[in-house]
Chain A
Amino acid sequence: MLDLKGYGPSLLEGAVVTIELAFLSLALALTLGLLGAAAKLSHNRFLRWTATGYTTLIRGVPDLVMMLLFYYGGQVAVNSLSDALYEAYQIDFFFQFDPFISGVVTIGLIFGAYMTETFRGAFLAVDSGQIEAARAYGFGRWLTFRRIMVPQMLRHALPGLGNNWQVLLKTTALVSIIGLTDMVRVAEEAAKAERSPFLFFIPVALMYLLITAASELFIKWLNKRANAGVVQGN
C-alpha cells in the first residue's frame, strides 16, 4: 500500500476543501453567468455595457493576479471600512477576509464571465419561432423566459458549461497559493518536509484526474438527458 507518512488524512481533508471550493464557486459563477447573459441580451444600454465591461476585464487579467488583489486588497478594504464605521458610528465591525472566501469570490467572478458567454450563445441558439409561439400563447416575458428559453437554452449551454467546470476545477489549485489548505497545499507542505515531491503530488494529480473523469461521465449523462427529444442528424 502507498505510504503517505501520516499525511493521508490531511490530504483527504484537503480534497474535501477543494471540492467544496469548486462547488461554491460554480454556484456563484452560474448565477453571475445567468445575470450577465441576461444583461448582455437586454435592451438596456447601461446593462449591456456593464456586462461587456465585466467580461472584457476578466478575460484580460490572469486569475492569480485577480486572486491576490481580492485577498490582500479585500482585507485592506474591509479594515478601512471597519475603521470608518467605528469613527463615524462607533460600530465595532470586523471581518476576516480568509483565503476560502477570496477563492470563491475570485473563481466565481472569473468563471461568471465565461458562463456569461456560454449562456449568451445558448440563449441566442433558441429558435426565435419558439419565442414567437410563446408570445402568441399570451406568455409574458418572465413566463417565456422560464418555460421556453431556459429549458431549451440548457441543451445548448451544457457542452460549454462542462468545459468551464473542468477548467474551474483546475483553477481551484491556485487558492493554495494564498494559503488555503486544500489538497495542493497539503501536498506541497508534505513534499517539502519529507523531501519526496513525487510521493505527494502524484496522488493529488490522480485525484484531480478522478474528479475530472467523473464529471465527464456525469456531463455526458446530462447531455443525453437534455437532448432526449432532439432528432440528431447523421
Chain B
Amino acid sequence: MPEFIVEWLNQNDIFTAGTLLHYWDGLVTTVQLTFLSLLIGLVCAVPLAVLRTSRNPLVSGPIWMYTYLFRGTPLLIQLYVIYYGVAQIEGIQDTFWWEIFREPFYPALLAFTLNTAAYTTEIIRGAIMATPAGEIEAAKAYGMSWFLRIRRIILPSTARRAVQAYSNEVIFMLHSSAIASVVTIIDLTGAARNIYSRYYAPFEAFIAVALIYMVLTFTVVYGFRKLEQHLLKHLKPANG
C-alpha cells in the first residue's frame, strides 16, 4: 500500500478496522435487503401486471387499488404500519410467524417488497400496453394460446421496453432501503448513524457512506446499460 494511505489510516481515529467492519456489515445488509425485495417484487409484479391489463374490472380493479395505495403513500409510512402493526395482530405471538417477524429485517423486507412490486407492476403494465398490435395479431394467426402468447411474444417484447424504467426503480429501491435504519436495522445508513454518534463526526461518517452508495448506484447503472445493450442488440445499426 502506498505510504500516505498507511499513514492516513494510522493517524485517524474514526476509520479503524472496527469501523470499516461495521460499514461492511451494513453493506451486506443493504445489499441483501435491496436485492431480495427487488427479486421477490419482480416475481410478483409480472403476473400482477399481466392481470392488471385484463378487461375484467374484478381482476384489474383490486390490482389498480393496490398499486395506487402503495405508490401514493410514502414508503416510510408503509414500513411503520407493517413494523408496528405486525405485533398487533391477534395471537401472532403464539405462531411461528412471530419468530420471523420479531426481527426488524423481515417487516422491512415485506414493506419494501410490497412497495417495489407496486411500482414494478405499473412499469411492466405500461410496457405491455405498448406492445405493437401486429405482434399479437401475428401470434394469434399462428394459433398461439393466450398463455403461449404472453410467454413467447408479449413478455420478451415487454422486457425490452421496461428495462430502462426498471433500472430507475432499482436505484430508487437501493436509495429507499436507507430508511431501514429507522427500524433499528444496521444497514449502511444505520452503520453510518452509529459511527456518527460514537465519534460525533458527521462529515466522515455520512460522506463515507454516501460514497459507498454512489459506487453501488453506478455499478447498477453500468450493469443495466450492459443488459440494455444485450436486449436491444438487434436494433443496433449493422456497422455501428
- Enumerate chain A interface residues (CB-CB to B < 8 A): 57, 59-66, 68-69, 72-73, 75-76, 170-174, 176-177, 184, 187-188, 191-192, 195-198, 201-202, 204-205, 208-209, 212-213
Contact = CB atoms under 8 A, between A and B. Distances in A.
Interface in B127-179: 171, 174-179
A177 B88 contact: no
A201 B189 CA distance: 24
B73 A68 contact: no
Given A170-B73, A213-B72, 17 more contacts: A59-B217, A62-B189, A64-B178, A65-B209, A68-B189, A68-B192, A72-B202, A173-B75, A184-B74, A188-B80, A195-B88, A196-B88, A197-B88, A198-B81, A198-B88, A208-B73, A209-B68
Nearest to A61: B210
19 contacts: A61-B210, A61-B214, A63-B175, A64-B179, A65-B213, A69-B202, A69-B206, A69-B207, A170-B74, A172-B74, A173-B77, A184-B80, A192-B84, A197-B81, A201-B77, A205-B69, A205-B73, A212-B72, A213-B72
A130 B77 CA distance: 47
Contacts of B77: 173, 184, 187, 201, 204-205, 208
A173 B74 contact: yes
Interface of B: 68-69, 72-78, 80-81, 84-85, 88, 171, 174-179, 181-182, 189, 192-193, 196, 200, 202-203, 206-207, 209-210, 213-214, 217-218
Contacts of A213: 72
Contacts of A75: 202
- Of B69, B179, B200, the most chain A CB neighbours within 10 A belong to B179
A65 B74 CA distance: 17
A208 B202 contact: no
Contacts, number: 114
B210 A66 contact: yes
Contacts of A66: 210
Nearest to B218: A60
B178 A65 contact: yes
A174 B177 CA distance: 12
A102 B209 CA distance: 19
B80 A197 contact: yes
A64 B174 CA distance: 12
B171 A191 contact: no
* Pairs of residues from A and B, 5 with the lowest C-beta to C-beta distance, nearest first: A60-B214, A173-B74, A197-B84, A72-B202, A62-B175
A189 to B, nearest CB: 11
Contacts of B181: 64
Contacts of B68: 209
A130 B234 CA distance: 37
- Of B76, B88, B176, B192, the most chain A CB neighbours within 10 A belong to B76
B196 A201 contact: no
B80 A191 contact: yes
A65 B202 contact: no
A73 B209 CA distance: 14
A195 B178 CA distance: 25
B179 A174 contact: yes
A62 to B, nearest CB: 4
A162 B87 CA distance: 37
Given A60-B217, A195-B88, A65 B189 contact: yes
A66 to B, nearest CB: 7
A21 B75 CA distance: 18
Nearest to A206: B73
Contacts of B177: 62
Contacts of B81: 197-198, 201-202, 205
B109 to A, nearest CB: 18
A165 to B, nearest CB: 13
Contacts of A202: 81
B206 A173 contact: no
Contact of B182 (A62, A63, A73, A177): A177
A173 B209 contact: no
